[in-house]
Structure 1
Amino acid sequence: MLNIFARASVSRVTDPIGVWLVRLGLTPNAMTLVGTAGAVGFSLWLFPTGHLLAGTFVVWGLVMLDVLDGAMARAKGGGTPFGAVLDSTCDRIADGALLAAIAWYGFEFADRPPLGAAALICLVLGQVVSYIKARAEAAGLTANVGLVERAERLIIALVGTGLTGLGVPYAVDVALWLLVAGSVVTVVQRIVEVRRSATLLATSEAGE
């Protein structure tokens, strides 16, 4: 949802930076890999050891590199099919590492199994949300709807960890259970949209 409203505004800021990075000789794929490696490494280092505030800021900064790789691709005249697959794959890896790290924090450091369980449920649902869209598009259908997409997942999770790092008790627990609820709604929304798209496609083919 946030992607629809924020993309144009963000692009106005990131596109000049993307042009500058391309002029330095960097490539979008390299930026994708660097951002993903950093996000995975710092997530698994900082969150399980209880450094929630530091982890929030570091991981958020690294995730923002994902925005810059798109700006760099536009600066080069458009992305490539390989770049699109690499970017999507790395998104799933980074998201999985973040939520796995929060689960690790919940089970081991904080000794709050419900928090760990919420993180694991969010991890699975996040992958399902993304898979539905990818599978639908591969079948020629649409599923570009949803209350909670990747941007919202990251914002909700990292706001929760950041507030907990600042001393707000159980902020990350509340954030992740809200994310569970929002993700379930999103899965249902996308399945309904795929069904609607399939019905329209079948009707269109029958009328030809």
Structure 2
Amino acid sequence: MPIRTLLLSLWWLLPAALHAQQVLVCDGATRFPIRDVLVSADGKPAGQTTWQGYISLSGPFQTVSFQKKGYVPEKLLREEVLRDTVFLFPAAHYLDEVVVVGKQTVDGRGMLKKMPKRDILEKRPPSSLGEFDLGLMLDKRYRRDRRHVEQLREIFKKMDGLDEKEDPVLKAYRQTQLELKADSLLQKNARQPSP
């Protein structure tokens, strides 16, 4: 009798396991369902969404692609599709490329000199006995922080190249431009046949 009960329960659970998963496709800006979205599972067409924005996905698949004119195409994994609503965003809200152009250069070292000094090396807590302060002498944290600031300053001096008169960022930019120009000349010379 237990085997018969087990088979009967499996018979009733089988259609639920084979039932297709309903996925809702909505507009990312307005949150309204989108109709007639082309859906493909693993590169094979799976159909289009209904007027309510639903599509039934059945069978094994790894990735699902959603495409509609006027929207950015979306490709999602199975786990992402089955656990939530899929949102497609209008293509009008996307930029292909952003170019940033600087019109004004700022002298960082000059600004640094104008800024007030607020670090541990320049400012000490005021002491009542002149320069002698027993509390600072015994404060391990203050000594540790002071050593740490000194080490960081040395590292930043090396990184900034304070010995040089040219700004390190501009120097790196010019050096990269020269390397790119040299590479293009080498490629140009390599293309030309030798006489």
The question of a shared fold, defined as TM-score above 0.5 by the shorter chain, is answered with no
Q: Which has the higher helix share?
A: 1
Q: Which has the higher strand share?
A: 2
Higher relative contact order (CA 8 A, sep 6+): 1
Q: Which one has a bigger Cα radius of gyration?
A: 2
TM-score category (smaller protein): under 0.3
Normalization by structure 1: what TM-score?
0.22
